Amino acid sequence: MLFNSYIFILFFLPFTLLGYYGLNYLKRYRIANLFLIGMSLGFYGYFNYKYLFIICGSILINYLLSRGILSLRNRQCAGKVLMVFGICIDAAVIFYFKYYDFFLENINAVFGKSFALKNILLPLGISFFTFQQISYLVDSYRGETKEYRFDEYALFVSFFPQLIAGPIVLHGEMIPQFKNLNNRRLIPPNFSKGMYLFALGLFKKVLIADTFGKAVALGFGDIGALSSMEAWIVSLSYTFQIYFDFSGYCDMAIGIGHLFNVELPANFNSPYKSSSITEFWGRWHMSLTRFLRTYIYIPLGGNRKGMARTCLNVMIVYLVSGIWHGANWTFVLWGLLHGALCCLNRFFAKSWDKLGVVMRWCMTFIAVNILWVLFRAEDIASAGLFVQKMFSLSGSAVREELYQCFELMELAVLGNLPVINMLYSHITGFYMWIFILGAFWVVLRFRNSKEIEFKPTFARSLAVIVLMVWSVLSLGEVSSFLYFNF
């Protein structure tokens, strides 16, 4: 089930809210927990009921392991063995479902073997809820968790707003909120802010990200036919598609959390305002960055053992980040290149600071934009061809089909205005440039959604209704969020 689908917006979400608050009103708090767990698992199983066996088994096994680790807190060696055993089980599950075929493909290619691939169907969100539970096992070993009830733990893992594509939450920021009885009643300011964030996120996804996505699909569908200008337009389109897609998802997830009086951690903070790759990763997928820093980078020694060791640790972290995103050499190379740029930032920090903020921003944005090509491409050869097209100076011709990707029905209404009609007649690809320049303006000038203090007024309430209705009417063919694939 997708946030941007009729069944979720019109049926699942209202029914879940009514059931949850109704049970809490009757002071059936534990039943309310079980109801929300059941609805969350139903949300997950809607994609494929077979996924339920995986997530339910994962929750049960990790809960039992964490209880075992807590019971051995006075026997650190035994507790550590159990923690490592649990992490190995979680890693094995991810490896089998996400990387087994990739591993066999490479064995076949390198050694000339012909092992049959299993074509395993990837369970949605497996990387997210597995990392979440690994963090819980480690925190249990460190003595940072309590002996939560099974329903509290299961709700922490399965809570549907963050289940499929994050953020990767920690027990300490979630379970206490579910235990707080003050959060069990409807709080109008929270509900209003939640509706605002959900409507804003839906608008970003349906009207902006999916529009850029049409140009991306056209361009990456036939890379060989691209002119140099088209390659840059398509690369920028993907840069903005993934921005508004992920930003929209984060807004919707946090907004739904507010509807249940649950504050999910920030996961997105205007990353294209960054003036270095290091800053970019402090703003992009913040919960993943936090996990990698807390559970990999710092245990490896962080930056405490000299520049060479620091850079090695950085490269390991970004290698894991790349592999986490997908079973393809494009993701591996994408992660390593980001890591290499972060190391260069450290080596030349003083020289970098002297460049000036505008130059630093330009270089960072161009690097991120080019690396997104690798992230989107089917394979490294396709990515190489695409980048070659970008720098081939093969002309500025742009096909009419690319312009048409940006001509929404809603914009056609504006074409009746004399000024818009004149501009449309005199500027080739007018709507395309409006989208691209408008996207630049939004990502650079607008505050992040979490920074906006929402005060319910008539005008803002009307804006929420307009955004929601416009987005729902524009749903058409439902497209999944890009991070659902990871």
**Residues known to be catalytic:** 325
Cβ atoms of 192 and 454 within 8 Å: the answer is: yes
Cβ atoms of 234 and 226 within 8 Å: the answer is: yes
In degrees, rounded to 5, the angle at the alpha carbon of residue 381 between the alpha carbons of residues 379 and 387 is: 105
378: exposed, middle or buried (Cβ count in 10 Å: 0-12, 13-18, 19+):
exposed
462: exposed, middle or buried (Cβ count in 10 Å: 0-12, 13-18, 19+):
exposed
In angstroms, the CA 298 to CA 302 distance is 4
Token look-up 């998802």 returns 249
Between the alpha carbon of residue 339 and those of residues 62, 245, 329, 333, the distances in Å are 31, 24, 15, 10
In angstroms, the CA 17 to CA 261 distance is 11
In angstroms, the CA 245 to CA 226 distance is 24
Cβ atoms of 434 and 211 within 8 Å: the answer is: no
Residue 303: which of 350, 343, 276 has the closest Cα? 343
Token look-up 């934009």 returns 369
Cβ atoms of 137 and 66 within 8 Å: the answer is: yes
Q: Please name every residue paired with 284 in a beta bridge, in sequence order, or none if there are none.
A: 268
> Which residue blocks in 326-395 are alpha helix, DSSP H?
329-347, 349-353, 357-376, 380-390
> Which residue blocks in 260-305 are alpha helix, DSSP H?
277-283, 286-292
Cβ atoms of 154 and 163 within 8 Å: the answer is: no
290: exposed, middle or buried (Cβ count in 10 Å: 0-12, 13-18, 19+):
middle
Q: Please name every residue paired with 312 in a beta bridge, in sequence order, or none if there are none.
A: none
In angstroms, the CA 306 to CA 89 distance is 33
What is the widest separation between alpha-carbon atoms in the chain? Answer: 78
